Amino acid sequence: MDKVFVTRKIPEEGLKLLRENCEVKVWEEEVPPKKEVLLEEIKEIQGLLCLLTDPIDAEVLEAAQNLKVISNYAVGYDNIDIEKAKEKGIVVTNTPGVLTEATADLAFALLLAASRSIVAADNYTRAGKWKSWGPKLFLGQEVFGKTIGIIGAGRIGSAMARRAKGFAMELLYYNRSTKPRLERETGAKKVELEQLLQESDFISIHAPLNNQTENMIGPREFRLMKKTAVLVNTARGAIVNQRALLEALENREIFAAGLDVFAEEPINKNDPLLQNPRVVVAPHIGSATFATRDKMAQMAAQDLLAVLEGKKPRNPVS
Ligand code: DGY
- CATH fold label, 3-98+290-308: Rossmann fold (3.40.50)
Q: Is 216 in the pocket of ligand 1 (CB under 6 A)?
A: no
pLDDT at position 154 is 98
CA dihedral 29, 96, 207, 9 (to 10 degrees): 0
Q: Is 286 in the pocket of ligand 1 (CB under 6 A)?
A: yes
* Ligand 1 center from residue 286 Cα (angstroms): 7
Active site residue: 155, 206, 236, 293, which one? Answer: 236
Distance CA 31, CA 256 (A): 30
Report the percentage of the chain scoring pLDDT > 70. 100
Chain-centre distance for alpha carbon 231: 14
Q: 121, exposed or middle or buried, with CB in 10 Å at 0-12, 13-18, 19+?
A: middle
Cβ-contact 9, 26 below 8 angstroms: yes
The per-residue pLDDT of the chain, averaged, comes to: 98
Q: Kindly provide the residue ranges of all beta strands, DSSP E only, lying in 185-278, ordered along the sequence.
A: 189-190, 202-205, 230-233, 256-259
Per residue in 34-83, pLDDT tens? Answer: 999 999 999 999 999 999 999 999 999 999 999 999 999 999 999 999 99
pLDDT at position 288 is 98
In the chain, where the domains are located: 3-98+290-308, 100-281
* Ligand 1 center from residue 229 Cα (angstroms): 25
Q: Do 3-98+290-308 and 100-281 share a fold?
A: yes
pLDDT at position 256 is 98
Per residue in 97-150, pLDDT tens? Answer: 999 999 999 999 999 999 999 999 999 999 999 999 999 999 999 999 999 999
Does 236 participate in catalysis according to the annotation? yes
Does 162 participate in catalysis according to the annotation? no
Q: How far is CA 163 from CA 21, 23, 66, 291, 304, in A?
A: 40, 43, 45, 20, 33
Residue 88 in this model has a pLDDT that exceeds 90: yes
pLDDT at position 167 is 98
Q: Is 244 in the pocket of ligand 1 (CB under 6 A)?
A: no
Does 40 participate in catalysis according to the annotation? no
Residue 293 in this model has a pLDDT that exceeds 90: yes
Q: How far is CA 208 from CA 82, 262, 269, 271, in A?
A: 14, 14, 26, 24
One CATH from 3.40.47.10, 3.40.50.720, 3.30.470.30, 3.40.1360.10 for 100-281: 3.40.50.720
* Ligand 1 center from residue 134 Cα (angstroms): 40
pLDDT at position 36 is 98
Q: What's the whole-number mean pLDDT along residues 269-273? A: 98
Q: 294, exposed or middle or buried, with CB in 10 Å at 0-12, 13-18, 19+?
A: middle
- The pTM of the full predicted model, rounded to 2 decimals, is 0.97
Ligand 1 atom 4, closest CA: 74
Closest CA relative to residue 219, chosen from 190, 254, 191: 254
Q: Is 10 in the pocket of ligand 1 (CB under 6 A)?
A: no
Atom of ligand 1 nearest to the CA of 288: 7
Q: DSSP states of 154-192 as a string?
A: SHHHHHHHHHHHHTT-EEEEE-SS--HHHHHHH--EE--
Q: Is 75 in the pocket of ligand 1 (CB under 6 A)?
A: yes
Distance CA 57, CA 47 (A): 16
Cβ-contact 72, 94 below 8 angstroms: yes
Residue 203 in this model has a pLDDT that exceeds 90: yes
Cβ-contact 147, 196 below 8 angstroms: no
